[in-house]
Amino acid sequence: MRSIGKSHKNATPGYFVKMFIQQVSLLAILLHLTLSPRIAMAAEIVINEVMADPLLESTGEFVELYNAGVHPADLSGWILGDLKDHNDVLIDYTDIFDSGAAGTVIYPGQYALIVDPGYTGSYNQIIEAYTDQNKFIMLTIRGDQTLGNGLGNSGDAIYLEFNGRRMDTFTWERSAGGNGISWEKKEVMVEDSESNRAPSEHISGSTPGFENSTVPAPYGFYISADTTTLFSLMPDIGQTVSIALQIHNTGLNEIDSIRIYLLLNDFSERQVTYYGSIHLAPGAFTFSHISWEPLYGGNHTVSIVASINEFRSTIHDTITLTIPIPFPDHSLIMNEIMFNPGSDGAEWLELYNRSDRPIDIHGWTMRMDKDGKARTLCHVPLDIPDRAYFILTDDSLTFKETYPAYTGIVLQPVDGWHRLRNGGATLRLYDLTDRLIHTIEYRPDWSPDAARSAERVNFEPFDEVTWGPSAAIHGGTPGEKNSLFSQHIPQRLHVDLHPNPFSPDGDGQNDACLITVQLPAAHGVLHAVLFDIKGRFLRTLANQAPIGSRHTLFWYGRDDQGHRLPMGPYILYLESLISTSQEVIVSKQVIILARSL
């Protein structure tokens, strides 16, 4: 006989007999292992699901095992233990609520459900609905009445043991979410860890005897909303808003391409911001940055949509952000103010939207003086149309009674009203981002008479000289063009007479002389009277009337008693007091009264 390995020239016959017996024994062992059923390796039998907090606390706990290997395993005699109990021996469950195949052998790809000895059938309806009865067995324990020492609702650890060898463990440190929710393993071949466990998402709260509800799909991902950050914390219109995202691969396969785009506000605006290849392994995450330029102020609802295309289908994930964008300065301005309405009137403030699009005033505030309390204009979304007015008042009912022709928006702030001091104050208007949009510092000389508002003359420049007392008959012009409004203020007094001569004979042509007065100031007080050529007083056209920079008078050829005057020249005498400088400007004009030929 030829020896294997090194030479034994001096070996005795007994030595070769011994070697022969050893080789025959080894061959017999190999044949036995080859021809007999194999016991699965430790990593192949896993604890796949644990119900520690069942609806029926005393009899509803269970532990589910799964054979992830390629060989069957007989679980009879295996030990299920926890931190305090080490004597629960697995046996076949044969009571009235038994389900599935008989015996204790679990085959590859099959499940074994370990239930309490006193199990009352809590899960049989679920098992019958979802489980393949030929690929499922039920077990229980010998030597105890509870699984382990009673599975802890808010945390515990269990293990599976065979012949003194630890086969698998399963640990949880908190409740899965309440009565009737189990802990499931996400990936059966990945070791037990916090990241590989999740509360069951199945409608019944658990998956005894069938695939876990939390098993990852071949392809899947999500955008991490809690790590979404704005690099520009308060971007202006036209500035770039940078958003950082985390993209997590939750599937079992690598993601090699992704598409990210934005849906803005009402989904009418769409911006593709990223489309390209990435290499994102299962369980990994990556960062992506997307950019967007807001075109107008206000709250922007931005939906970030990511998608991947796999197996002829598209998988999406969406997160929605609300990003406040500040409004431009003076986009909404204070245009008229009634700070001294008299004893029975209502204080009010008119605001005007100067922009070319609606402005939602939800979240805007008003403050008086430096340390004034912020008063919210409106607690719900409310659009002010472009080029439109609205009113803030302390008494909406009295305001509407005073100005019945006004049909616009009237708001009485729910946070209360700043009393508008007759002696003057500073008012500040802030948008939803708390940006200062407009400020006025009104003074009592803007409108010294009670029940007469102070009006802005025009929208530029934004300074105090563009304000004055309303020239309107009713003492204010809420919701209308201001009585003092003037697009242009001349350098000197200008008086225009048209037509001149004129013929007030009632024929419908040139029956009145239109007298247009333009002051070299935002407002003033006008006195206008007519004399004949000998200097005799005839008619008062304006008696110390407050006017804006531009004002119009009409003369129909009659005196104060209504008598028609004869043809001839007449003297128009004008005096205008410029309030801001206390200067009096005088002008004399000749008007010719004629008759039609």
Measured CA angle at 372 (ends 367, 378), to 5 deg: 40
Q: How confident is the model at residue 27 (pLDDT cuts 50, 70, 90)?
A: very low
Of 322, 268, 269, 326, give the one whose Cα is nearest residue 297. Answer: 326
Q: How confident is the model at residue 37 (pLDDT cuts 50, 70, 90)?
A: very low
- Let me know if residue 312 belongs to a domain: yes
Calpha distance 369→429 (Å, rounded): 11
The enclosing domain of 270 has a CATH number of 2.60.40.10
Percent of the chain with pLDDT over 90: 55
Q: How confident is the model at residue 321 (pLDDT cuts 50, 70, 90)?
A: confident
Q: Are 203 and 210 in contact (CB under 8 A)?
A: no
pLDDT tens sequence across 380-389? 999 999 999 9
Predicted structure pTM score: 0.63
pLDDT of 3 above 70: no
pLDDT of 376 above 80: yes
Q: Which helix (H) or strand (E) element contains residue 20?
A: helix 13-35
Same domain, 423 and 396: yes
Provide the pLDDT for residue 454: 93
Provide the pLDDT for residue 369: 85
Encoded tokens for 110: 């099959």
Side-by-side strand order, sheet with 409-411: 409-411, 389-393, 348-353, 332-338, 454-456, 467-469
Same domain, 363 and 447: yes
Q: Which single residue is written with the structure tokens 């190999």?
A: 30
Same domain, 56 and 188: yes
- Let me know if residue 529 belongs to a domain: yes
Looking at per-residue confidence, does 10 or 343 come out higher? 343
Report the phi/psi class of residue 283: left, alpha or beta, with left for phi > 0 and alpha for psi in -120 to 50. Answer: left
- Let me know if residue 416 belongs to a domain: yes
Encoded tokens for 218: 């071949």
pLDDT of 6 above 80: no
Q: What is the CA radius of gyration of the chain?
A: 46
Provide the pLDDT for residue 83: 83
Q: How confident is the model at residue 357 (pLDDT cuts 50, 70, 90)?
A: very high
pLDDT tens sequence across 454-464? 998 877 655 55
Domain count, the chain: 4
Q: Are 182 and 50 in contact (CB under 8 A)?
A: yes
Q: How confident is the model at residue 5 (pLDDT cuts 50, 70, 90)?
A: very low
Of 139, 138, 140, give the one whose Cα is nearest residue 127. Answer: 138
Same domain, 88 and 177: yes
- Let me know if residue 485 belongs to a domain: no
Same domain, 62 and 189: yes
Q: Are 93 and 103 in contact (CB under 8 A)?
A: no
Q: Give the ranges where 343-483 is alpha helix by DSSP (H).
A: 396-402
| Distance spanning both ends of the chain, measured CA to CA | 156
- Let me know if residue 576 belongs to a domain: yes
In this prediction, residues 57-78 reach a mean pLDDT of 92
pLDDT of 492 above 90: no
- Let me know if residue 232 belongs to a domain: yes
The contacts of residue 502 (CB under 8 Å, 6+ apart) are 510, 511, 512, 513, 557, 591, 592, 593, 594
Calpha distance 175→275 (Å, rounded): 41
- Let me know if residue 572 belongs to a domain: yes
In this prediction, residues 546-567 reach a mean pLDDT of 91
SS3 of 84-130: CCCCEEEEECCCCCCCCECCCEECCCCEEEEECCCCCCCCHHHHHHH
Looking at per-residue confidence, does 532 or 448 come out higher? 532
pLDDT of 499 above 90: yes
pLDDT of 9 above 50: no
Mean pLDDT of the chain: 85
The enclosing domain of 542 has a CATH number of 2.60.40.4070
In this prediction, residues 187-206 reach a mean pLDDT of 93
* Pick from 6-10, 244-248, 258-262, 504-508: least confident: 6-10
Same domain, 297 and 347: no
Residue where one domain finishes, among candidates 325, 356, 382 = 325
Q: Which residue segment(s) compose the domain that 502 sits in?
A: 494-593
Calpha distance 293→399 (Å, rounded): 42
Same domain, 350 and 234: no
pLDDT tens sequence across 265-289? 655 556 656 666 788 998 899 888 7
Inter-CA distances, 491 with 455, 482, 494, 520, Å: 21, 21, 9, 5
Provide the pLDDT for residue 4: 32
pLDDT tens sequence across 125-180? 999 999 999 999 999 999 788 887 889 999 999 999 999 899 999 999 999 988 89
Same domain, 294 and 153: no
Which residues are registered as beta bridge partners of 503?
none
Same domain, 173 and 46: yes
Residue where one domain finishes, among candidates 325, 348, 366 = 325
- Let me know if residue 12 belongs to a domain: no
Same domain, 46 and 192: yes
Q: Which helix (H) or strand (E) element contains residue 334?
A: strand 332-338
Same domain, 231 and 121: no
Encoded tokens for 31: 């044949």
In this prediction, residues 500-522 reach a mean pLDDT of 90
pLDDT tens sequence across 79-129? 999 988 888 999 999 999 999 999 999 999 999 999 999 999 999 999 999
Q: How confident is the model at residue 1 (pLDDT cuts 50, 70, 90)?
A: very low
Calpha distance 40→72 (Å, rounded): 6
Strand bridging mode 359-360 / 383-384: antiparallel
Provide the pLDDT for residue 271: 61
Q: Are 127 and 49 in contact (CB under 8 A)?
A: no
